[in-house]
Amino acid sequence: MKKVTQGLIISFVLLCGGTKIITESDLFYPRKNTVQTSAGVEKIQVLRGGGVKLIGVCVGRGDKKYPLIYFNGNGETVSENIERYKYLSNSYNVVVFSFD
């Protein structure tokens, strides 16, 4: 039993020592607002008190029935997901709003 415990401890130490220490910047790295639009995509801005400005896009405005606010994951930007927004808008009859 003692050898098993020692083996597990040594394995744990080697595993922890051999892996990179994860920092917050490895998990979340926001980028500046670089919204790039294409046909059927409208750039929008929402200004709030305290100098807060949200910059994003609106896809499907006009004939669509329901609004959908799309929240990007860590490291994703609006510009990377334009085709996804178009697909959602056309497939589900929604107006997609997303912000960086």
Q: What domain range includes position 87?
A: 27-99
Mention every residue, 6+ apart, whose C-beta is less than 8 A from residue 93: 64, 65, 66
**pTM (whole model) above 0.75:** no
Q: Are 100 and 56 in contact (CB under 8 A)?
A: yes
In our burial notation (b when 16+ CB lie closer than 10 A, e otherwise), range 22-56 reads eeeeeeeeeeebebeeeeebeebeeeeeeeeeeeb
Tell whether 71 is covered by a domain.
yes
Tell whether 7 is covered by a domain.
no
Mention every residue, 6+ apart, whose C-beta is less than 8 A from residue 77: 31, 34, 35, 100
Tell whether 67 is covered by a domain.
yes
pLDDT tens per residue, range 41-83: 888 888 888 888 888 899 988 877 899 999 887 778 888 888 8
